Amino acid sequence: MTTAPILEVKRLEKRFGAVVAATGIDVEVRPRDRIGIIGTNGAGKTTFVNMVTGYLEPSGGDIRFEGRSVLGRPPREVTRLGICRSFQVPQVFGSRTVLENLVMALALAEATGLALLADPWTSDRAERARRTLAEYGIGDQADREAGLVSQGVRKLLDIAMAMAHRPKILLLDEPTSGVSQEEKLAIMATVMEALDREGVTVLFVEHDMDIVARYAGRVLAFMEGRIIADGPPQDALNHPKVLEVIVGEGSFSGARATQREPADA
Amino acid sequence: MSAAPSATLAAAPASARPTRSRSPVLPITIGAVLVIAAGFAVPAWLLTILLFALFRAMVVLGLIVLLRAGLVSFGQALYFAVGAYAVGFLSRAGVNDALVRVLAGALAAGALGLVLGFLLRRYRGIFFAMLSLAFSMILYGLLVKSESLGSTDGFAIHATTYAGYAPDRSSERFALLVLSSVVAWAGAIAVALYLRGTLGRLAEAVRDNEIRVEYLGASVAMAVHVKYVIAATLAGVGGALAAMVIGHVDPAMAYWTNSGEFVFVMILSGSGSVFAPFLGALVFELIHAVATHYSPGAWRIILGSALLAAIMFVPGGLWSLMPKARRS
Amino acid sequence: MNALVPILIDGLNYSAWLFIVAVGMTLIFGVMRVLNIAHGSLYAVGAYVAATLIGRWFDADLPAFGSFGLIFASAIGVGLVLGLVLEQGLLRFLHGRDEIAIVLATFAVFLILEDVVLLIWGTDAYPAYQPYGLLGTSSIGGIAFTNYDFSLVVLALVVGGAAWWALNRTRMGKLLLIVIHDREMAQALGINVRLVYPATFAIGAMLAALGGAYSAPMISVSPGIGVDVIILSFAVVVIGGLGSIEGAMIGAVMVGLTRAASVHLAPQFELFVIYAIMTLVLIVRPQGLFMRAQARKI
Amino acid sequence: MSRLSLIAALAASVALTAPVLAQEPLRIGVVTHLTGAAAGPFGIPARNGAELLIDAINSGTLPAPYATKGMAGQQLEMTLVDEAGAPARIATEVRSLIDRKQPHAVVGFVTTGTCLAALPVLEETKTLSVLSTCGTPRVFEDAKYEYLFRTSANATADGVTAARYLLARMPELKSYAGINQNFAFGQDSWRDFTLAMQALKPGFKATMEQFPTLGSGQYGAEITSLLSNGPQATFSSFFGSDLEAFVLQMAPRQLNAKTQLVLSTGETAMYRLGAKLPDGVIIAGRGPYGVFARPTDLNKWFRKAYEDRYNVPPTYPAYHAAQALLGLKVAYDKAAAAKGGGVPSRDEVARAFRGIEYEAFGTTIRMAQSDGRQAVTESAIGVYKFDRSAGTATVTDVTYYPADCVNPPEGAKSIEWLQAGMPGAKCNLSN
């Protein structure tokens, strides 16, 4: 633990009127960390992700990435710095094919200025996109419209698009929600393998404690806008509060989790 | 989730797909040559209709750039009038050169679009439509108030010259047709190339999912702003051509019903191809000519019915009926 | 005499007229998400029918005050007939289409009705001035005001009050409010859109026709009177927030008072006032004054 | 599928209407408002006047000296074009009329916006054109035309007439205001009137000017403002339904009792308003037409023929249209006589038209300005009175101003002439 933190969150706060969605959040993330974020609905997990990625402006506190504050930067700048994310409800271009979605993502990541006027559709890019889709196990879906493929495929596409920028940190917001129990493990296996190859630091919000236990090297437990536990899975998941409030609900949540979407904003 | 306001309208058929698209230059050039050739063959009244269709199509070309992003402007008459009045001011200053006039119309409208774009890029859906309408009506009010510009009467534009060459009366219309065709050729190619580019294709992405666009590191505001400026510039070019074709400018060019007519033609055309506005504008002018000819007292019934029929039975616009576009 | 009093009086009179004219448009938009350009045509038809009937009424020497009944009868008749015809004959088939296609469809209806009006009533103006004088005048600060203008304020309050009561105190109205505020919830509750839509459109059309019918005695009913009404209603409705009745009321008062102030203090700006307010409000509050901005869930 | 066949069919249907180069009748295009707000007060009377005259010319039933059949012996065939709509649109309609029909002459135009937009087209296509109303002095002051004539006086004369009459009746006038529609005609009318007032009484400025939106129909605030400002006289160039609405709204509030109203186009509405227009309002009608027309045989014939056919008395737009066609006939007949028979060419008619003087239905038309292309006429104005016993609208205290009293001399621009204090005006009043 001697390396400098890649992401530091200090005394982060977010209030919506009288509602406190986050308060006193302190987190230090080191390169190549695998952090699972757990908590009940409304605990502040997605709010946390939204603040780190610039979608929500914190009411107080600071977020520093590689030593620099990223407060006040909109999502696209945060993305360009190297913090990317996926979404609980996959955000894809529904009227385009899976392949086109990824080509577009690659083009936007690679082109700036006048190069944006060029046709994104180069044979090189298409080739790489097909290869990536194959790596994510959805190569056979490449030419289907993204609005029509299964939720699992969309989830993977969503993550693949987030990876187009070759981020240093990737935040996954419930990567396995809304898909069947069998698909969950397959998705996590595929995604984590791809992320390992790239050496990306990962924070993932997850309700399924088995997945958390299997893939997280560290767990952050949220409750009522605070972090109530932060540590290795065996410690955090056995924290009394966590056991009582989160795990108790979450360990059997497989069936219910599928119905929970759309969840907290 | 994403309630794309104009999803069905903007659903681009096969030609918009990023599959092996061929270069647009050749077909557009053929189209422009055909129009100019038609200028030799058609009777005078049809020449007039072609001229009107061409400047109208330029405005609609801009509208489909916006429509691809799900945005519909009910105030495009603002830029149309700015382009026309730019030619008017030049004419008053004794500048009659075609190229200067077209560029002035484009620049004036584009510059105004750039400024107003900072505001309008924050709006979507009906609010975008209404705010753009409000701006066009403010210009209308200003022009009506300007007695030195002839108020509602407007003022006449001197005949156009071409790099020093002043066509005589018999070839004046034909010269305008060549000018309009060349300008339309350039505009259509520019738009076709733009729509193929990453920024152009971003339009559909913006319509589909703005949040994803932002999280791909692109600026939705910038993408919309660029489209808005392009649409404004094209409307300005259309207005400049209109001023030269009509030989007169007046505030009614900025009135909201004029904007409504542009949107009308856009609906009629569909957004599937850069050719669509030209087809739509031509059909619109023909319907209009037939309607006013056969029932001068009730031509709006015919025009309105045509519009209703287009909305009800040809939701993808006339272009979607073309054999090539029907594949999808 | 202080300029404030006449500004207030003229402003409120004009606001009342604006509200009556615009409230139907906001109701239809709120429930159906249809921005009805044909609103202006319904206004015009209401005015023509009322003017025709009032003319006949006085030609037949019937009791003068009965003409007020004609105004309301014309509004109800025109609204019911045209409203139902347009909804059932056209808009019904456009459910689920995007907003702009529907706006354009109503634009087409507007074009058609403009000429239909011309074919039925011709180009001559139809006067229906008699009711205007019936109520007499009042003198305020030495200036005569027509009581008919004040009756507009009463009518606006009655219409606004009735709308409030109907929306908040009746079952049907509560259902409409649900539709206005949360469409998904409305569908989940199984609200019968096939009933709600025609009813709403007919009521909105009646209000448009009422605006025209009640204006008929003050104006000379002539071709093209509906065109300006469209743009005025748009402005009022956008200022207040599309779909908000109370917003339309505030919007009408804002525009009415500002216009009156402009006429009295700076007549040269009269033409701009309404667009200036609309632009300012949209810049400050893009959703209009009375609409909640909708946060997107991700 | 043959989707293009739709376009082809449309194109063909237009093409079929192109003329088969008929040589017999003279084709006359008549441009006037058939729809829209200006149709009732202006467009339809103008159409009626044109229609009536074309029929009378064809049948040779005009009174002497115009009783010959046709123009230069040729029968006339009328094509109507709607003038309602945006000026640019009308310019196109006129062009398409010329392209399709190749008319021998185009007659008409009521509103200035449409007429100014159509002028370049008319001149470019070398179409012989006679403007019947379109009163703006800009027509001949802004450009030169070869084939264009206007047989009614400039609108400048209306402002001068109103100012002269008002000050003659109220020499002690202390204050005046104006309410005019916010568009070119309203602004120009008000400018001409105020300049004429200042020419007659140097430094005499208006206390208030209102410019409500054209067609707004709601004048409550403007009326209040006039009532509280309290000018002794108020000038208005309102016309059509706006004028009627204004009168209906101001009459119960007694605006006419507080201020002397001057309605410069009031004549068009007097028959329609009848008893609703209060007595004592000063009205005019763009020249000595309608109720102000001189009681000549020509006028008696015109009035009777018009009332018999349309059941209403003719107003000035009808006179304007009729005298435009009459001028065209005079020019044609003169050109035919000059070449000893046969149909004269466009250039021959245009040459013959320049500078003619002819007796028309309301008064004498003298083509004395702008190289003989612009008419000057006397003007007329009076005080409205509704004759309750007869139930008819009348005028009293009518004053006729000679042409040289209210029109700028040849070569002078109207605004400059007004600003200079109307130099050279010759006013020997007659009644």
DSSP per residue, B152-165: GG-EE-PPPBBTTB
Q: B298 in a domain, yes or no?
A: no
pLDDT score of D250: 93
Residue that wins the pLDDT comparison between D374 and D14: D374
Six-digit token string for D66: 């115009």
Cβ-contact D123, D339 below 8 angstroms: no
CA angle (A123, B214, A55) in 5-degree steps: 150
Contacts of C233 in chain B (CB under 8 A): none
- Tell me the angle at which helices C193-215 and C171-181 cross, rounded to the nearest 10 degrees: 100
pLDDT confidence tier of residue B94, bands split at 50, 70 and 90: very high
Cβ-contact D165, D131 below 8 angstroms: no
My answer on whether D142 and D214 are in the same domain is no
**What are the domain boundaries of chain C?**
4-284
> Is pLDDT at D12 greater than 70 in this prediction?
no
User: Considering only CA atoms, which of C214, C277, C290 is closest in space to residue C247?
Assistant: C290
Mean pLDDT of C63-74: 93
pLDDT score of D8: 53
pLDDT score of D20: 39
For chain C, list residues whose CB is within 8 angstroms of any CB belonging to chain A.
295, 297-298
Cβ-contact B177, B50 below 8 angstroms: yes
The length of chain C is 298
pLDDT digits (tens, 9 = 90+) for C267-279: 888 878 888 888 8
Residue that wins the pLDDT comparison between C184 and C244: C244
pLDDT digits (tens, 9 = 90+) for D190-206: 999 999 999 999 999 99
> Is pLDDT at B233 greater than 70 in this prediction?
yes
Which DSSP string corresponds to B227-242?
Answer: HHHHHHHHHHHHHHHH
Torsion of CA A232, A233, A234, A236, to 10 degrees: 80
Q: Which domain holds residue D193?
A: 156-285+378-419
Contacts of D210 in chain C (CB under 8 A): 263, 267, 270
- Chain B nearest-CA distance from D193, in A, is 15
3-state percent helix, strand, coil for chain D, nearest multiple of 5: 45, 20, 40
pLDDT score of D40: 86
CB atoms within 10 A of CB B241: 32
My answer on whether D383 and D262 are in the same domain is yes
Contacts of A89 in chain C (CB under 8 A): 297-298
- Chain C nearest-CA distance from D215, in A, is 7
Q: Measure the CA–CA gap between A192 and A200, rounded to whole angstroms.
A: 10
- What's the Cα-to-Cα distance from A210 to each of A43, A71, A125, A234, rounded to whole Å? 20, 34, 37, 12
Percent of chain A exceeding pLDDT 70 equals 92
Percent of chain D exceeding pLDDT 90 equals 72
Stated as kind and residue range, the H or E segment containing D146 is: none
Counting as contact any 3 or more CB pairs under 8 A, the partners of D are: B, C
Mean pLDDT of B215-223: 88
Helix boundaries (H) for A163-244: 181-198, 209-215, 233-236, 240-241
- Architecture per CATH, domain A7-94+167-257, reads as 3-Layer(aba) Sandwich (3.40)
Distant-in-sequence, close-in-space partners of B243: CB < 8 Å, separation ≥ 6: B83, B84, B85, B87, B88, B91, B101, B105, B157, B249
Peptide bond into A262 cis (omega under 30): yes
Q: Does A72 touch chain B (CB under 8 A)?
A: no
Q: For residue C145, what is the nearest residue in chain D, using CA coordinates?
A: D253
Q: HSE, CB side, 13 Å, CA atoms: give it for residue C266.
A: 7
Counting as contact any 3 or more CB pairs under 8 A, the partners of B are: A, C, D
Cβ-contact C261, D74 below 8 angstroms: no
Torsion of CA B170, B172, B173, B177, to 10 degrees: 130
pLDDT digits (tens, 9 = 90+) for A106-130: 998 888 778 888 888 888 999 999 9
Mutating which of D187, D191, D211 best tests the B interface, going by the most B Cβ atoms within 10 A?
Answer: D187
My answer on whether D143 and D161 are in the same domain is no
Contacts of B216 in chain A (CB under 8 A): 76, 79, 104-105, 108-109, 161, 164-165
Q: Does C38 touch chain B (CB under 8 A)?
A: no
> Is pLDDT at B81 greater than 60 in this prediction?
yes
Instruction: Tell me if D215 and C225 make a contact (CB, 8 A cut-off).
Output: yes
Instruction: Tell me if B286 and D10 make a contact (CB, 8 A cut-off).
Output: yes
Instruction: Tell me if D220 and C146 make a contact (CB, 8 A cut-off).
Output: yes
D369 bridge partner residues: D374
Cβ-contact C87, C106 below 8 angstroms: no
My answer on whether D96 and D213 are in the same domain is no
- Chain C nearest-CA distance from D39, in A, is 6
pLDDT score of D199: 95
pLDDT digits (tens, 9 = 90+) for C144-199: 999 999 999 999 999 999 988 988 888 888 877 877 777 667 777 777 777 888 99
Q: Measure the CA–CA gap between D135 and D264, rounded to whole angstroms.
A: 13
Cβ-contact A180, A208 below 8 angstroms: no
Q: Does A47 touch chain C (CB under 8 A)?
A: no
- As to burial, measured by CB atoms within 10 angstroms (0-12 exposed, 13-18 middle, 19+ buried), residue D389 is exposed
Which DSSP string corresponds to chain C?
Answer: --SHHHHHHHHHHHHHHHHHHHHHHHHHHHHH----TTHHHHHHHHHHHHHHHHHHHHHTT--TTHHHHHHHHHHHHHHHHHHHHHHHHTGGGGTTS-HHHHHHHHHHHHHHHHHHHHHHH-SS-EE--HHHHHT-EEEETTEEEEHHHHHHHHHHHHHHHHHHHHHHHSHHHHHHHHHHH-HHHHHHTT--HHHHHHHHHHHHHHHHHHHHHHHTTTSEE-TTHHHHHHHHHHHHHHHH-TT-HHHHHHHHHHHHHHHHHHHHH-GGGHHHHHHHHHHHHHHH-TT-TT-PPPPPP-
User: Considering only CA atoms, which of A174, A169, A131, A129 is closest in space to residue A155?
Assistant: A174
Mean pLDDT of C211-229: 90
> Is pLDDT at C219 greater than 50 in this prediction?
yes
Instruction: Tell me if A50 and C297 make a contact (CB, 8 A cut-off).
Output: no
Six-digit token string for B23: 């270069």
pLDDT score of B3: 36
Contacts of A52 in chain B (CB under 8 A): none
pLDDT confidence tier of residue B4, bands split at 50, 70 and 90: very low
Mutating which of B1, B76, B127 best tests the C interface, going by the most C Cβ atoms within 10 A?
Answer: B127
Q: Measure the CA–CA gap between B262 and B81, rounded to whole angstroms.
A: 13
Distant-in-sequence, close-in-space partners of A263: CB < 8 Å, separation ≥ 6: A41, A46, A88, A174, A177
Mutating which of B300, B305, B314 best tests the C interface, going by the most C Cβ atoms within 10 A?
Answer: B300
| DSSP β-ladder status, A201-205 and A34-39 | parallel
Instruction: Tell me if B17 and A100 make a contact (CB, 8 A cut-off).
Output: yes
CB atoms within 10 A of CB B92: 13
> Is pLDDT at A262 greater than 90 in this prediction?
no
Counted domains in chain D: 2
pLDDT score of A27: 92
Contacts of A262 in chain C (CB under 8 A): 297
Among the listed ranges B3-17, B200-214, C242-256, which one has the minimum average pLDDT value?
A: B3-17
| Distance between first and last Cα of chain D | 75
pLDDT score of A185: 86
| Secondary structure class of A219 (helix, strand, coil) | strand
My answer on whether D279 and D415 are in the same domain is yes
pLDDT digits (tens, 9 = 90+) for B155-164: 989 989 999 8
Tell me A217's DSSP state: S
User: Considering only CA atoms, which of D311, D270, B259, B297 is closest in space to residue C223?
Assistant: B297
CA angle (D252, D258, D264) in 5-degree steps: 85
Torsion of CA C78, C79, C81, C83, to 10 degrees: 140
Q: Does C188 touch chain B (CB under 8 A)?
A: no
Cβ-contact D224, D246 below 8 angstroms: no
Mean pLDDT of A230-257: 69
pLDDT score of D306: 97
Q: Does D83 touch chain B (CB under 8 A)?
A: no
Instruction: Tell me if D40 and C223 make a contact (CB, 8 A cut-off).
Output: yes
Which string of b and e fits B98-123 if b means at least 16 CB within 10 Å? bebbbebbbbbbbebbeebbebbbbb
pLDDT score of D5: 53
Place of tokens 């924290």: A239
Among candidates D212, D244, D253 on the partner chain, residue whose Cβ is nearest the Cβ of C125: D244
- Chain B nearest-CA distance from C254, in A, is 16
Q: Measure the CA–CA gap between C169 and B237, rounded to whole angstroms.
A: 55
My answer on whether D118 and D242 are in the same domain is no
- Chain A nearest-CA distance from B57, in A, is 23
pLDDT digits (tens, 9 = 90+) for A205-221: 998 888 898 899 999 99
Which DSSP string corresponds to C127-151?
Answer: E--HHHHHT-EEEETTEEEEHHHHH
Residue that wins the pLDDT comparison between A186 and B109: B109
Q: D161 in a domain, yes or no?
A: yes
pLDDT confidence tier of residue A248, bands split at 50, 70 and 90: low
pLDDT score of B250: 92
Tell me A264's DSSP state: -
Percent of chain C exceeding pLDDT 70 equals 94
Q: Measure the CA–CA gap between A193 and A137, rounded to whole angstroms.
A: 12
> Is pLDDT at D17 greater than 90 in this prediction?
no
Place of tokens 């020997």: D428
My answer on whether D300 and D336 are in the same domain is yes
Q: For residue C94, what is the nearest residue in chain B, using CA coordinates?
A: B312
Residue that wins the pLDDT comparison between D363 and B24: D363
Q: For residue D115, what is the nearest residue in chain B, using CA coordinates?
A: B153
Distant-in-sequence, close-in-space partners of C291: CB < 8 Å, separation ≥ 6: C241, C242, C243, C244, C247
pLDDT score of B43: 86
Counted domains in chain B: 1
Six-digit token string for D190: 């008000």
Mean pLDDT of chain B, nearest integer: 87
Instruction: Tell me if B141 and C100 make a contact (CB, 8 A cut-off).
Output: no
My answer on whether D71 and D134 are in the same domain is yes
pLDDT confidence tier of residue C96, bands split at 50, 70 and 90: confident
pLDDT score of B11: 41
Q: D28 in a domain, yes or no?
A: yes
Side by side, the strands of the sheet bearing A34-39 are A83-85, A169-173, A201-205, A34-39, A218-223, A226-231
Instruction: Count residue pairs from C and D with Cβ separation < 8 A.
Output: 138
My answer on whether D131 and D35 are in the same domain is yes
Q: Measure the CA–CA gap between D324 and D12, rounded to whole angstroms.
A: 35
Mean pLDDT of chain C, nearest integer: 87
| DSSP β-ladder status, D233-236 and D176-179 | parallel
Q: Does B216 touch chain A (CB under 8 A)?
A: yes
> Is pLDDT at B238 greater than 80 in this prediction?
yes
Mean pLDDT of chain A, nearest integer: 85
- Chain A nearest-CA distance from C295, in A, is 9
Q: B196 in a domain, yes or no?
A: yes
Question: Domain of D42: which CATH number?
Answer: 3.40.50.2300
pLDDT score of B6: 39
Stated as kind and residue range, the H or E segment containing D291 is: none
Six-digit token string for D148: 């264009």
- Chain B nearest-CA distance from C50, in A, is 23
Among the listed ranges A87-91, B50-54, D375-379, which one has the minimum average pLDDT value?
A: A87-91
Predicted structure pTM score:
0.88
> Is pLDDT at D120 greater than 90 in this prediction?
no
Mutating which of D180, D208, D224, D254 best tests the C interface, going by the most C Cβ atoms within 10 A?
Answer: D224
A84 bridge partner residues: A170
- Chain D nearest-CA distance from B33, in A, is 19
Q: Is chain A touching chain B, with at least 3 CB–CB pairs below 8 Å?
A: yes
Cβ-contact B135, B116 below 8 angstroms: yes
Tell me D390's DSSP state: T
pLDDT digits (tens, 9 = 90+) for C37-62: 999 999 999 999 999 999 999 999 99
D393 bridge partner residues: D386
Instruction: Tell me if C125 and D40 make a contact (CB, 8 A cut-off).
Output: yes
User: Considering only CA atoms, which of C206, C203, C275 is closest in space to residue C236?
Assistant: C275
CATH 1.10.3470, applies to C4-284? yes
pLDDT score of A258: 36
Mean pLDDT of C241-260: 89
Contacts of B142 in chain C (CB under 8 A): 272
Tell me D232's DSSP state: S
Q: B109 in a domain, yes or no?
A: yes
Six-digit token string for C139: 């003198």
Instruction: Tell me if B215 and A79 make a contact (CB, 8 A cut-off).
Output: yes
Q: B322 in a domain, yes or no?
A: no
Instruction: Tell me if B301 and C116 make a contact (CB, 8 A cut-off).
Output: yes
Q: Measure the CA–CA gap between D310 and D49, rounded to whole angstroms.
A: 10
Instruction: Tell me if D3 and B286 make a contact (CB, 8 A cut-off).
Output: no
